[in-house]
Amino acid sequence: MHKTFFVLFLVSTSILPIKPGHAQSLVQEPRVPCTGKVIPAYPSTDQTFATRVWTRDQIPSWVPPACMDWNTLTFDFMLAISGRFTNVDNVADFARRVVSFSTLTKMRYWSV
């Protein structure tokens, strides 16, 4: 059995140095599973999870798709993680560990 996961973290903080004017012109914006093609793409089952980090300067016009149901969006950087896992013996324990970051109530995230 193969399962896929995609997690998107948005972090807003004033302690990270963000340098305006350093935006990349050909940066692929994040894409979540509900929109079709996922960025970062799901790796094959024999690879580790894939990650991407963006700053607001790199994706200034990005807005979350309607399927995410996020009404407001402010962040300094965004982290996306996608991956696959197999042969999980204790699914309940694994799920509890995967979503344990949800206890961080100030961090916005979306996962499937």
For residue 23, is pLDDT > 80?
no
State the pLDDT at residue 22: 46
Q: Please check whether residue 67 is in contact with residue 35, taking contact to mean a CB–CB distance below 8 angstroms.
A: yes
For residue 54, is pLDDT > 70?
yes
Which two three-digit tokens encode residue 86?
Answer: 């197999």
Percent of the chain with pLDDT over 90: 1
State the pLDDT at residue 58: 92
Percent of the chain with pLDDT over 70: 56
Task: Report the sign of the C-alpha dihedral through residues 28, 41, 68, 95, in that order.
Answer: negative
Dist CA 8 CA 31 (whole Å): 10
Give the structural domain span for 64.
2-111
How many domains does the chain contain in total? 1
Match 């996922």 to its residue by tokens.
38
For residue 33, is pLDDT > 80?
yes
pTM for the predicted model, two decimal places:
0.60
Q: Please check whether residue 8 is in contact with residue 102, taking contact to mean a CB–CB distance below 8 angstroms.
A: no
